[in-house]
Amino acid sequence: MLVEKTTFSCLHLTPAQLPDLLHFVSASSRRRSYVRKIGLLVILPGYSIPARGEVQTADEQRRNDESFTRAIHSLFDILSLWPDSCHLTLRVFARSPGDLNGEPDMTKRKKRLLYKRRGNDLLDLRYHHSYLRLSALEHTLPPVRAIVDLDVIGDISYSDYRRIAPAAVSGIISCLPRLRTVNGVLCDNERRDMTVRQSLRDEFGVSLTQWPASIQHLHLKYRGDPPGNENRPPPRLSEKGTDALCLALNRLSQQLVTVELEDITTGTELFWPSNTASISPPLWPHLTHFTVVYRSATACGQWLFDRDPRSKVKNYEHERPYEDLTEDWPDARVPAEQDYPVDFFRTKPAPVLSELYRSAGLAAQQMPLLQQMVLVAQVRASHLECRETTAVPQAEHWFRYLRTSNLVQWVGFSEFHPTEEVLDTWRDVGKSHGLEQMNFEVSGHQLYHWCYAKFAEHGVCLVP
């Protein structure tokens, strides 16, 4: 019995193995009780060797969507019969045996990498702009009460697996009425077609209304990079204060206990929508921890950072014109125009950043149980130098509020001065949390990991 308990505690399945789940596990109440985690690797249709050098077709996308939906449906048909006493964690990811990392033979993988250099194999660029969606069968997915935690790996930027459309993830979540925790790795990083990016983002925002009220914890990686050439304007995905996803996350967060958003393109409406009425403001009655790791441009197309006077100005003299790339390279290998040539120099907080801190403070006043809020800007400096230091490959800027220490702190490589309006807003946070006095600290640092576990201070400025 001990062997069975260990054997069945964590199951790694493909669609072909689901009949075994039905016959050997689902049919036994004892074995069902042992299961704690199920990992479902959705196997998508394979493709020929010549097709490796071609971008995925619409017909292939349709067949992939159907395979993905059938796999989810088959698993849910089985798990829908499991009782509430089960508390499962489900992990979902997908790939094709034709994908580079779907090839188990390492020798063949190395050969494919050589073919890439010759232009005969696009590898992940073949399906870089495709997103798995639920087909019409989505509407017949049965509810599954046994699943309480969900992990979805749906972005090739972080993994070896295919991208999954965020709205498809919401379709899965809508069938999990007892779900408590969502961990998602999804993509908001479409580089060429901003219409597609905006559509995926807006669909995600609308689909969040399908999430059940049982959810308490959200950890979402939703990577959306600003232009790789920071001389260019960021994409304008929405009008200021109206981003559908930020507004939807604002509403969803009001039912949560913990929120952690990473790599997200955000705006002030994530915290405090511009049309919020003072008579009936939003309330986060359960929220204790709020962490946002955000990109350096907003959804409405504003840069949150400017050039630091100490940063070098890049010399473009030896860069090839973009038009030459489009003529000489296959379309799939040509970088998006917004990303060429790469030039990272924005590290100095822009005045608009104060709006973000003020909106976060207004929201924090309505979070009676809040213990910690952390806001981290991903600043991508590549050639930042100053007298005190050598070249720094990256310089982040972050903020944290720590209730137990009565502390509001800003740390960044480039100089930052919070406005009096921002300070007053956070003083009011302290009052709403029963703190007699707030301590404000502004300090500088060199390179360190985003979680601020270790950093080198260059000096501290205490704000009264």
Shared domain for 136 and 232, answered yes or no, is no
Shared domain for 233 and 151, answered yes or no, is no
Instruction: State the alpha helices, DSSP H only, in 162-317.
Output: 166-173, 194-207, 244-253
Q: b/e for 308-345, b at 16 or more Cβ within 10 A?
A: bebbeebeeeeeeeeeeeeeeeeeeeebbebbbbebbb
The residues that bridge with 11 in the sheet, in sequence order, are 38
The residues that bridge with 92 in the sheet, in sequence order, are 40, 152
Residue 460: predicted pLDDT: 40
Residue type (1 letter), 444: G
Whole-number Å distance between alpha carbons of 140 and 35: 25
Domain of residue 307, residue span: 224-464
Residues 6+ apart with CB under 8 A from 219: 181, 182, 183, 184, 258, 260, 262
Answer whether residue 53 is part of any domain. yes
The answer to whether 223 and 265 are in contact (CB under 8 A) is no
Shared domain for 253 and 143, answered yes or no, is no
Shared domain for 338 and 421, answered yes or no, is yes
Answer whether residue 102 is part of any domain. yes
Shared domain for 20 and 108, answered yes or no, is yes
Whole-number Å distance between alpha carbons of 88 and 84: 10
Answer whether residue 361 is part of any domain. yes
Number of other residues whose CB lies within 10 A of the CB of residue 254 = 16
Residue 296: predicted pLDDT: 96
The answer to whether 376 and 294 are in contact (CB under 8 A) is yes
Work out how many domains the chain is built from and give that number: 2
Whole-number Å distance between alpha carbons of 307 and 313: 9
User: pLDDT tens track of the chain, all 464 residues?
Assistant: 788 888 999 999 999 999 999 999 999 999 999 999 999 999 999 999 999 989 999 999 999 999 999 999 999 999 999 999 999 999 999 999 999 989 888 998 888 888 776 668 889 989 989 999 999 866 789 999 999 999 999 998 888 899 999 999 999 999 999 999 999 999 999 999 999 999 999 999 999 999 999 999 999 999 999 999 999 999 999 999 999 999 999 999 999 999 999 999 999 999 999 888 777 899 999 999 999 999 999 999 999 999 988 777 888 878 888 888 888 777 878 999 999 999 999 999 999 999 999 999 999 999 999 999 999 998 886 444 443 333 333 447 999 999 999 999 999 888 899 999 999 999 999 999 999 999 999 987 543 333 333 333 333 444 54
The torsion angle over the Cα atoms of residues 271, 273, 279 and 283, rounded to 10 degrees, is -30
Answer whether residue 334 is part of any domain. yes
Shared domain for 437 and 322, answered yes or no, is yes
Answer whether residue 169 is part of any domain. no
Shared domain for 302 and 443, answered yes or no, is yes
Q: b/e for 419-450, b at 16 or more Cβ within 10 A?
A: eeebbebbbebbeebebeebebbbbbbbebee
Residue 455: predicted pLDDT: 33
Whole-number Å distance between alpha carbons of 75 and 21: 9
Number of other residues whose CB lies within 10 A of the CB of residue 18 = 17
Both tokens assigned to 354 = 């104060």
Whole-number Å distance between alpha carbons of 321 and 334: 12
Shared domain for 282 and 358, answered yes or no, is yes
Shared domain for 290 and 415, answered yes or no, is yes
Q: Measuring CA to CA, which residue among 186, 146, 185 is closest to residue 165? A: 186
Domain endpoint, select from 125, 157, 189:
157
Both tokens assigned to 205 = 């925002």
Whole-number Å distance between alpha carbons of 377 and 261: 12
Whole-number Å distance between alpha carbons of 454 and 457: 10
Both tokens assigned to 451 = 């979680």
- Please identify which residue in the block is written with the tokens 């490959």: 393
Shared domain for 131 and 248, answered yes or no, is no
Residue 402: predicted pLDDT: 97
Shared domain for 265 and 350, answered yes or no, is yes
What global pTM score does this model have? 0.91
Whole-number Å distance between alpha carbons of 432 and 427: 9
Domain endpoint, select from 132, 157, 182:
157
Whole-number Å distance between alpha carbons of 234 and 111: 38
Answer whether residue 81 is part of any domain. yes
Both tokens assigned to 107 = 């020798």
Both tokens assigned to 296 = 């350096």
Shared domain for 111 and 249, answered yes or no, is no
Residue type (1 letter), 259: V
- Please identify which residue in the block is written with the tokens 């994908």: 99
Answer whether residue 189 is part of any domain. no
Whole-number Å distance between alpha carbons of 201 and 428: 34
Q: How is 275-321 classified by DSSP, letter by letter? A: T--SSS----SS--EEEEEEESB-TTS-BSEEE-TTBPPPP-TTSPP
Domain endpoint, select from 157, 179, 213:
157
Both tokens assigned to 400 = 């944290």
Both tokens assigned to 350 = 């822009």
For residue 384, give the H/E element and its range: strand 384-386
Cα torsion angle, 291, 223, 181, 159, sign:
negative
For residue 327, give the H/E element and its range: helix 322-328
Answer whether residue 332 is part of any domain. yes
